[in-house]
């Protein structure tokens, strides 16, 4: 899978916010979601049948 590491990171990222409460971490999460995570979902969408 092309985005294997990204998908694994998404799982890790999903669990971290419930235990972490600081603005720098939140901003880092936003950048990852808007960048690598979103791109992985777009790639998946292209591979799925209509």
**What ranges do the domains of the chain cover?**
4-47
29 in Cβ contact with 17 (< 8 Å): yes
Query: pLDDT by residue (tens digit) across 1-50?
Result: 678 999 999 998 888 777 777 888 888 989 999 999 999 999 999 999 97
Task: Write the DSSP assignment of the chain as a string of letters.
Answer: -TTHHHHHHHHHHHHGGGT---HHHHHHHHHHIIIIIHHHHHHHHHHS--
Give this prediction's pTM: 0.71
Q: Which residues, at least 6 apart from 35, have a Cβ–Cβ distance to it below 8 Å?
A: none
Confidence at residue 31, expressed as pLDDT on a 0 to 100 scale: 94
């Amino acid at each position: 899978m092309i985005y294997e590491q990204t998908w694994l990171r998404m799982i890790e990222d999903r669990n971290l916010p419930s235990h972490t409460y600081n603005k720098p971490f939140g901003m880092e999460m936003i950048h990852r979601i808007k960048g690598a995570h979103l791109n992985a979902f777009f790639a998946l969408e292209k591979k799925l049948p209509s």
